[in-house]
Amino acid sequence: MKVLIISFDKTLSDKLKEALSGEHEVFTAKNTEEALTLIPHEVDVIVFDAISGAISEEEINQLYNKKFAKQKYIVLYDELFPVDGNNIQPPNKVLVIRDKALEEVPKLIESEATVETASAEVSQVQEVTTEMQQQTVSEVQETQEVSQTSGKPKILIVSFDKKLTDELESLLQDKYETEVVKNQRLVKEKGRTASLIVFDAISGTIAEKNLMELSEDPVLREKHYLILMDDLFPINVDKLNLPNKEVVNRDAPATLIAEQIESILQRTLAPRTQPKPQEATAEETKAQEEVIQGNILEFEGETQKVPEEQTAIEQKEEITQEPYKDFLEEITEPETPTRAQPQPTSVENVSLSLDEKTIKAAIVEAISKELTGLREEVKVEVSGYIRDIIESVVREEVEKYLLELKIGDLIREETKKIVEEKLKELLS
């Protein structure tokens, strides 16, 4: 049989070629474009390394539509970058875990000797897929029942990294209800009842596409998200229409990721978990009434002390004033009212104030006149000085110009011209 292996992983491609070369003719290609241009149509089986997930689905469909429509496809997929068999157009296909390729691929190719065996393989794969779907539905029903009876906040973890999910579940299961899902359909179903969705974005553009799809759902858009970002496959988080999203590096310790999860839930669930004010018991009410009554009695006692203290002060004043009673009476006897005489205005003061004003005005006027005269004199002197400077400068410039012109030479030339003209007139 003719087998085409399409993979950019040279190690995997060489190992598969070595395992199949004994009984089959093996072709290899690094990518879809090379397979379409260099490989002949007459191949029986195509082994496609779908390491790129959803991108690989499109490449397989290109092979099927453009050149290889009758071949059987063995699709090697990775758990971190899964593919959806429903999105792959070739009907005769088998999905194999990439880590088991060296074991399963030779067996599948050998079983392709007859059409019946191939059909059996396809039906077996369909049965396994149906069984897995049924199992998934039952798991969904079970988790829904648990979430309805549990009072803990629910955390939905979307990841294929089993090590990471196990660590997070062990750290969070005491306080929260945790659930792990691996496909988009379950995220849409389970995310509606989750308080927080932890989304592993290790698949890069595929994860970005899935998150954008979730943001189109009004309910899922408002959920709180913690996105685990991978440095090798980054995504544009700002482009996601998810208002309640936060990002953390997926390579961070699981304890740090768990702490951030708890921080988000504490912030989002704090208003809901505030304790209701407890009603006061009868004993506490009675104690409060006694305290209030005591305060009232104490206040009344204080108010009664005030008049007593005022009375004592008045008596003390009367005793103190007794020996000086006659003296005080003499002082307080009403005097006969006398007509208030107006005090004479000081003429000297008025004249002095007038003289000061007059003197000041005269001084200011005199100073203004002096300054005016001085201003005129200065103006005349300055203008004369400027005129003299201008005349001297102009004179110097004219002399320099005349020196540069060489007046003697000019006079000779003009005289020569005149003499020549006179001679011409005489000769004519």
Q: What is the pLDDT of residues 69-114, one digit of tens each?
A: 989 999 999 888 888 888 999 999 999 998 888 888 888 888 775 5
Q: What is the mean pLDDT of residues 268-273?
A: 63
Q: What is the mean pLDDT of residues 232-257?
A: 91
Q: What is the mean pLDDT of residues 189-208?
A: 91
Q: What is the mean pLDDT of residues 303-331?
A: 50
- 77 with 54: CB under 8 angstroms? no
pLDDT at 4 > cutoff 90: yes
Q: What is the mean pLDDT of residues 40-53?
A: 88
Higher-confidence position of 89 and 309? 89
At 45 the pLDDT is 93
114-to-106, 120, 122, 234 alpha-carbon distances in Å: 15, 10, 13, 46
- Summarised one tens digit per residue, pLDDT across range 366-401 is 776 666 666 666 667 777 777 778 888 888 887 777
How far apart are the C-alpha atoms of 268 and 201, rounded to whole Å? 23
pLDDT at 142 > cutoff 80: no
Q: What share of the chain is helix, strand, coil (3-state, %, to 5)?
A: 65, 15, 25
For the sheet containing 245-249, what is the strand order? 177-181, 154-158, 196-200, 224-229, 245-249
Instruction: Give the β-pairing of 45-50 and 72-77.
Output: parallel
Stretch (H or E) spanning 5: strand 2-6
User: What tokens were used for 285?
Assistant: 């009410």
* Residue 33 DSSP SS3: helix
203-230: string of b/e by CB count within 10 Å (b at 16+)?
A: bbbbbbebbeebbeeeebeebbbbbbbb
Q: What's the CATH class of domain 2-113? A: alpha beta
At 366 the pLDDT is 72
What would be the CATH architecture of the domain defined by 152-269?
Answer: 3-Layer(aba) Sandwich (3.40)
Q: How many CA atoms lie within 13 A of 328 on its CB side?
A: 7
Give the list of residues 6+ apart from residue 165 with CB closer than 8 angstroms, or none.
157, 159, 180
pLDDT at 205 > cutoff 70: yes
Q: What is the mean pLDDT of the chain?
A: 76
In sign, the C-alpha dihedral spanning 115, 121, 123, 125 is negative
At 29 the pLDDT is 92
- 205 with 235: CB under 8 angstroms? yes
